[in-house]
Structure 1
Amino acid sequence: MEYLIPFNRPFLTGKENEFVNEVFRTRNLSGNGPFTKKSQAFFENRFGFGKCLLTTSCTDALEMAAILIDIKPGDEVIVPSYTFVSSANPFILRGAKIVFIDSKNNHPSLDENQIESLITKKTKAIVVVHYAGTACNMELVMSIAAKYKLYVIEDAAQAIANNYSFSDKSKKFLGSFGHLATFSFHETKNISSGEGGLLVINDKTLVERAEIIWEKGTNRNAFFKGIVDKYNWVDVGSSFLPSELIAALLYSQLQSLDEIQKKRIAIWNQYKNGLKEWALLNDVEISYIPEYSGNNAHIFYLIFNTSEKRDNLILKLKNKGILSVFHYLSLHKSPYYKDKHDGRELVNSDRYSDCLLRLPLFVDLTEKEVTHIINIIVN
């Protein structure tokens, strides 16, 4: 079915052809070329990140992270149940046991207050997923990690350009807290190169090895920098770096980051202002932003008090040619992992699986279209 208003429509800045043609003109098609370097530098300079390495996906970036912190069979990794499978899979591939943590009762992100109770002698890392691009309480997470000497990996797939506010009003960008952080540039994200991802290495002791893993386990990057006179196989690794075509697409998007964010935030605010009274009258929760988080307008969601009401609105909008969608299914109940889970009930994760709905949100969505969607919902 073709929808009059889809859930998502990738935004094109108009600079894509220019940058991609530059790749064709120079015939520098493989990875780690000029656009790769410019994109990586953008993130390091704009957001104060440590070393940045482009990857072919956020999943690849997470797989690099699992290798970098030496995940081994028997290790335990704390991961939200309400997230995409890529938050857990890379650690499973290295033999880890996933210890799923529930969401907060007022937000789908992990409940930071439950972390400490899940830590054992085998715990090695905490994966923090900034759901909808909204910040988790990173001060609390980092203090717990420091206390128990654990790695923190920020799965910031949805969180580009968002920040965390400290009590003194100072701010720090999401992705700059964890020892490692990952971002996604899938076509559903605010900034897109079709596919693509980024690994941020904030722990300087991990940078050299990250570059080796990124280059298939060789010290090829050191060779190109003139540090060694020939490169060799020195560690495990894989082909994680993307082609210059992907990097060129990404760089074209980064040039319009401020414009993209401004438009998305305007749409998000229009939804909020148009639906808040209806939501209050109908016992529906709307997207929540805690005081310590900024808003990058990645998702606008509604949470109903029953799955039936959620599904009824999905159908109502579908009948009007508008695609709205639910989101994750709790990973602890998945066919693959349900027999491996320790049996704890994760009630909030299940509630969001059953009752959360996402509304269309993309740059080309017009004010008139948003008004139309709001009118259908409230009438």
Structure 2
Amino acid sequence: MSSSSKRITATSSTVIGNELDYAREVLKSGNLNGKGKYSKLCEKWLESFMHGGRAFVVSSCTSALEIAAILADIKPGDEVIVPSYTYVTTVNSFVLRGATPVWVDLDKGMHIDASLIEAAITPKTKAIIPVHYGGIACEMDTIMDIAKRNNLFVCEDAAMACNSTYKGRMLGTIAPVGCISFQEKKNFTAGGQGGALLINDPNLIERAETIYEHGTNRARFIRGEVDRYEWIDLGVNATLTELQASFLYSQLQASRFISIRRLYLWNRYHSALTPLLKRGCIMLPEVPKDITHNANVFWIRVTDPTQRDDLIRHLDHANIEAHPQFMPLHLSPYGQRIGRFSGDDRVTTMAISQILILPLSMIMTNEEQNMVIREIFSFWQPELGDRKFGDSNETRDSETTECS
């Protein structure tokens, strides 16, 4: 087994190189608070993917989700349908309004199983929150059809999915409301934290703006539509600073370059590790037809979950960081107190015991990726450890790889 002097981390923040140029302009302008030039440019970029909606850049995806929960008119006793495999803020935002999370099992793609949603609906159900895990879309046609027939609010948690598409539409722009993250681990970052609220239902735009303005009609006052502004609704402080917006805009301008590099690495992993899939060692993500994705993460599922911790230690010994991502919310102490699981847990708990996130970032080199691939192969067959993996002109004898 080989060891690298430089640790290969699971994620690394994207830095393009011209962020300081944009930041200097903001500093010279004197407007650091937000809602200025770069905030508007970021919002215009997002709105170019929308169909007549409105985008708000906000301080975090959590802030966007909190606004979404207010827009959904969530009240104590309401139920929201959500996967258990997600970061806690997906659920917190609705629980803060008094909702009970109803967990629905995953499909093999690590998304909420759309075929199980209808069975989870009760007279108390108010909303569905699909999570586009890894930047790959949930089955949105089915989800939106269920929501329409049952008069339910849908909020897309597209935290990981900026620039991914479902049948030609960017994720976050399909449901009435979508929420995006620009946190440091995402493809595009606002310098550590940041997010966006996408309002795709015109009937929600005015109220969303009011909530975004701390519950006031300040924006209408600035536009000269009212002679004073006052407190008229619930509100939050979700302003993204102008420095953060300038950092984000530099990355959105380079979105094509960032996406090409990440997708190259994602596809390279998939191709190189396919022999282990064929031998039954691992499962790999699949990208359904009519879907594009942004390569936010690359995961494998170790078929035998008892091997995962050993694989993590094996990679760690080679100075490679790999880890599970989310712990199941329905098995957490608080999740057990406030939520309930609908139907059988056939996939979620098993999948969470198998999944492993491999290193992927825009700055990852081909050589670093080769090392990750080589060490994964050598875990199952140590004599492969000295071979070079990941090169496009290489062939492997997958029949020699044993997985037990």
One-letter amino acid matched to 1:159: A
Matches within 5 A, 1:282-361: 282-342=280-340, 345-361=344-360
> How far did 1:340 drift?
3.2
Distance between the aligned counterparts of 2:133 and 2:52, measured in 1? 20
Contact 1:137 1:292 in 2 (8 A): no
SS in structure 2 at match of 1:206: helix
- Out of 57-66 and 345-354, give the one that drifted further: 345-354
- The yes-or-no answer on 1:95 pairing with 2:102 is no
> How far did 1:8 drift?
1.1
One-letter amino acid matched to 2:374: N
The residue that corresponds to 1:19 in the other structure is: 22
- The yes-or-no answer on 1:173 pairing with 2:170 is yes
- The yes-or-no answer on 1:72 pairing with 2:75 is yes
Contact 2:218 2:229 in 1 (8 A): yes
- Out of 305-314 and 191-200, give the one that drifted further: 305-314
> How far did 1:245 drift?
1.0
> How far did 1:374 drift?
0.6
Distance between the aligned counterparts of 1:151 and 1:89, measured in 2? 17
Instruction: List runs of 5+ in structure 1 lacking aligned partners.
Output: 166-170
One-letter amino acid matched to 2:17: G
**1:124-161 deviation per Cα after TM superposition (whole angstroms, max 9, x unaligned):** 11001001111111111111110001111000001111
Contact 1:49 1:175 in 2 (8 A): no
Distance between the aligned counterparts of 1:217 and 1:375, measured in 2? 55
Equivalent position to 1:116, from 115, 118, 127: 118
- The yes-or-no answer on 1:188 pairing with 2:190 is no
> How far did 1:347 drift?
2.9
Equivalent position to 1:81, from 81, 84, 90: 84
Equivalent position to 2:221, from 220, 223, 226: 223
One-letter amino acid matched to 1:352: A
One-letter amino acid matched to 2:376: I
> How far did 1:121 drift?
1.2
- Out of 257-266 and 231-240, give the one that drifted further: 231-240
**1:90-138 deviation per Cα after TM superposition (whole angstroms, max 9, x unaligned):** 110000111111101x211000000000111111110010011111111
SS in structure 2 at match of 1:178: coil
The residue that corresponds to 1:36 in the other structure is: 39
The residue that corresponds to 2:152 in the other structure is: 150
SS in structure 2 at match of 1:336: helix
- Out of 301-310 and 37-46, give the one that drifted further: 301-310
The residue that corresponds to 2:375 in the other structure is: 376
TM-score for both structures, normalised by structure 2 = 0.90
> How far did 1:82 drift?
0.8
One-letter amino acid matched to 2:89: S
Distance between the aligned counterparts of 2:51 and 2:254, measured in 1? 19
Distance between the aligned counterparts of 1:219 and 1:144, measured in 2? 34
SS in structure 1 at match of 2:98: coil
SS in structure 2 at match of 1:242: coil
TM-score for both structures, normalised by structure 1 = 0.95
Contact 1:49 1:200 in 2 (8 A): no
Contact 1:31 1:242 in 2 (8 A): yes
One-letter amino acid matched to 1:228: V
- The yes-or-no answer on 1:364 pairing with 2:363 is yes
The residue that corresponds to 1:126 in the other structure is: 128
One-letter amino acid matched to 1:176: T
> How far did 1:46 drift?
3.7
- The yes-or-no answer on 1:140 pairing with 2:138 is no
Contact 1:82 1:329 in 2 (8 A): yes
The residue that corresponds to 1:168 in the other structure is: none
Distance between the aligned counterparts of 1:208 and 1:94, measured in 2? 21
Instruction: List runs of 5+ in structure 2 lacking aligned partners.
Output: 379-404
**1:235-290 deviation per Cα after TM superposition (whole angstroms, max 9, x unaligned):** 11021111111111111110100000000000001111111012321431012212
> How far did 1:305 drift?
2.1
> How far did 1:345 drift?
4.2
How much is the aligned-residue C-alpha RMSD, in angstroms?
1.4
Distance between the aligned counterparts of 1:270 and 1:371, measured in 2? 9
Distance between the aligned counterparts of 1:19 and 1:267, measured in 2? 29
One-letter amino acid matched to 2:346: V
SS in structure 1 at match of 2:166: strand
When the two structures are aligned, how many residues end up with a matched partner? 372
Distance between the aligned counterparts of 1:28 and 1:301, measured in 2? 41
Contact 2:280 2:303 in 1 (8 A): no
Distance between the aligned counterparts of 1:115 and 1:227, measured in 2? 43
The residue that corresponds to 1:204 in the other structure is: 202
Distance between the aligned counterparts of 1:237 and 1:145, measured in 2? 26
- Out of 355-364 and 337-346, give the one that drifted further: 337-346
Distance between the aligned counterparts of 2:346 and 2:268, measured in 1? 31
> How far did 1:308 drift?
2.2
One-letter amino acid matched to 2:111: S
Spell out structure 1 runs of 4+ moving beyond 6 A: none
